Structure 1
Amino acid sequence: MNEIPSYIYWLTRTTFVFLALCFVAVAFLPQSRPIAFGMIIGSAVSYINTKYLAKKVSMMTEAAATGRRGPKGLGFAQRAAISIGAVVLAIEFPHLFEIHALAGSLVFAPFALIVIGYFLSRHERDNSDNERGEKNA
């Protein structure tokens, strides 16, 4: 079974809720705007990189299942370049983006996926008792 779509679904929801909270912080806490903007950029880059990696993994598993060669591309280099671009943006405009908040939130999606995976596996385990539709007597 392919769990990647459900993981991406919940990661998207989690990321958008986090981004919404950061935008609320921008609106109501003007002294924390650089921190919130750094977290917005960092978590958005983290989400983009994770979604791109999930697409590459899906393409590779499909290619392996059909016996074709896997996709060619820059994979890690592209994801690293996006992250480095965000860090350069924070270095160029330190009055707008807090570099520490950006760097810390670049790992938002992997940590969110650990939590999402834990809850999805617990949910699957709790619902697998009646796998074939049998009733417990």
Structure 2
Amino acid sequence: MPMDDMLKKAVRAALFFMSALLAAWALLPEGRPVAAGLILGTSASVVNAFLLRRRIEFIGKTAAEHGERKMTLGLAGRLATVLLAVMTAYRFPELFALPAALASCFFVQLAVFFTAITNNKNGSGGKG
């Protein structure tokens, strides 16, 4: 399965997860900071996934054209996205749970990993 399809599945899972968290936020007032923190971190994870996808497409295009490699803010941009989510949770602890926001900043990356494992097991036919 191509990486683009795995990313689509992972983003779809993240959107379902965030919609369930939104329902939990609406129905469980005592769990609102945790649900909001998970939504904040998961949204940062989705943004990071698209930033990484754009960076990989850029590197692939540059390599195919044998072009000059330009320096960009690839890793710094993704780190800044996580830092923004974490600092938002830190600044507003009554609205966002910091541990929940930090833990969910890696949701899409883990979802892609488990999607790849599942596809590898399904596609190998038990040989390897």
**d(CA) in 2 for partners of 1:7 and 1:60?**
19
1:60–1:71: 8 Å Cα contact kept in structure 2? no
- Give the TM-score taking structure 1 as reference length: 0.83
User: 1: CA distance between counterparts of 2:20 and 2:69?
Assistant: 39
> Amino acid of the residue matched to residue 8 of structure 1?
L
Indicate how the Cα distance of structure 1 residues 71 and 17 shifts in structure 2: closer, same or farther if over 3 A, else same.
farther
Deviation at 1:80, TM superposition (A): 1.0
Paired residues of 1:59 and 1:70 also in contact (CA < 8 A): no
The structure with the greater share of residues assigned to helix is 2
5+ long unaligned stretches in structure 2: none
**What is the aligned partner in structure 2 of residue 47 from structure 1?**
46
Among all aligned residue pairs of Structure 1 and Structure 2, give the percentage whose two residues are the same amino acid: 26
SS of residue matched to 1:107: helix
Matches within 5 A, 1:1-137: 3-126=2-125
Shift in alpha-carbon separation, 1:79–1:13, aligned structure 2, 3 A: same
Structure 2-normalised TM-score? 0.89
* Shift of residue 37, structure 1, vs aligned partner: 0.2
Shift of 1:55: 1.5
Residues 42, 105 of structure 1: 8 Å contact kept: yes
Q: Which structure has the bigger radius of gyration?
A: 1
Residue type at the aligned position of 1:84: L
Which sections of structure 1, spanning at least 5 residues, go unmatched? 127-137
Count, aligned residues: 125
Deviates more, 1:36-45 or 1:24-33: 24-33
Provide the alpha-carbon RMSD of the alignment: 1.6
Give the stretch that moved more between structures: 70-79 or 97-106.
70-79
Q: Which has the higher contact order (CA 8 A, sep 6+)?
A: 2
Q: CA deviation at 1:39?
A: 0.2
